[in-house]
Copies of this chain bind each other. A is one copy, B any other.
């Protein structure tokens, strides 16, 4: 399938590629998309027996630019410590694929796309999607690329959900799964936080039932949604260490005096406001609704009467799970639950809980132990 390989003059940089998958794309909910465009990046070259492909799945607000240079932001990719030359996932050894998820807003079909049947933006006529639908879209991309089997699927957070689901939906196409800071189902508290975000978006009059012009989205609501979510990505300990009760622009020696007002008085407020506002410049509100909804529906054990082990029955895939001590969004207990289910299913599984004060976001930050664990696991399997 050499024809599908990237014509890449610099195989470490990514190509900003798109592909249109022909035919209807069937969804879990019973509907189908009349067209599926996938935006993706590849790094490195597929080897002769197409055995060195690694799929990286991104989290809720990330994109396909996992490594190299992100042409939209002008910044480096989002997982530079794990992916890149000399890193555990290495374009000199692996053919690395990362695609924008179904429902996303970075090139893959989502609510911001035009429905070819109506020539209108989908907006809220876009069908509700699931993590499984995201995985199936990635499988269609692999078909297009001529890759039958993945050496590994790797992801953190929602990316970890996709990685786990790959082993359930397409067990014969995945040799190894690395699932970091993730869960096999969304908890009531996870759903609750997402619902706050969705309600914040929908409460913004600019949302207009989802039919906003793409250049005039519900910025205020989306910013509030991001602020609420962002708190869940950090730990109480991390917030205290980073900001404590320090006052904005008054962190000088002596006795800083509060301003007694509603401006961003504390540094943590200023930080959150910035996080909220900058997010609205790179993300679409309707995509946020659809992707959070997909995560809420995620429950790998549900089709098996809640017995997660049955979802993995007969698996030949190897698994590595990593959790972080201060992650309260997808806490270690959820990873342990997955490990128990995998053990019950007779799967090969390694698991480590790593010390970190940085909460859920730890998987994106400097985590040398995580890098070593993933490196060792991938090398042992290839």
> Can you offer 7 A-B residue contacts whose CB atoms are under 8 A?
A188-B242, A192-B227, A195-B227, A195-B272, A196-B272, A228-B228, A262-B289
A331 to B331, CA, bound (A): 18
| Chain A interface SS verdict (over half) | helix
Interface residues of chain A, those whose CB is within 8 Å of chain B, are 29-30, 124, 127-128, 185-189, 191-193, 195-196, 198-200, 202-205, 220-221, 223-224, 227-228, 231, 234, 236, 239-240, 242-245, 258, 260-262, 264-266, 268-269, 272-273, 276, 289, 293, 296-297, 299, 302, 328, 331
CB distance B227 to A199 under 8 Å? yes
A17 smallest CB distance to B (angstroms): 30
Chain B residue nearest in CB terms to A221: B203
Distance (whole angstroms) from the CB of A241 to the closest CB of chain B = 9
A266 to B194, CA, bound (A): 12
Query: Given A186-B245, A188-B266, A231-B189, does the pair A29, B260 have CB atoms closer than 8 Å?
Result: yes
A148 CB, min distance to chain B CBs, angstroms: 31
A299-B245 contact, Cβ under 8 Å, with A240-B189, A289-B262: yes
Option from B192, B200, B302 in Cβ contact (under 8 Å) with A268: B192
Flag if B220 contacts A203 (CB, 8 Å): yes
Residues from chain B with a CB closer than 8 A to the CB of A296 are 265-266
- With A187-B240, A266-B188, A299-B245 known as contacts, the answer to whether A128 contacts B195 (CB < 8 A) is no
For A222, the closest partner residue in chain B by CB is: B203
The answer to whether B203 touches A224, judged by C-beta atoms less than 8 angstroms apart, is yes
- Interface centre among A243, A244, A266, A276, by most chain B C-beta atoms within 10 angstroms, is A266
| Docked pose: A289 CA to B261 CA in angstroms | 10
CB distance from A332 to the nearest CB of B (A): 13
Determine whether the beta carbon of A244 is less than 8 Å from that of B289: no
Shortest CB distance A312–B (Å): 19
Q: Once the chains bind, are A228 and B196 in contact (CB under 8 Å)?
A: yes
Q: Is the CB of B236 within 8 A of A191?
A: no
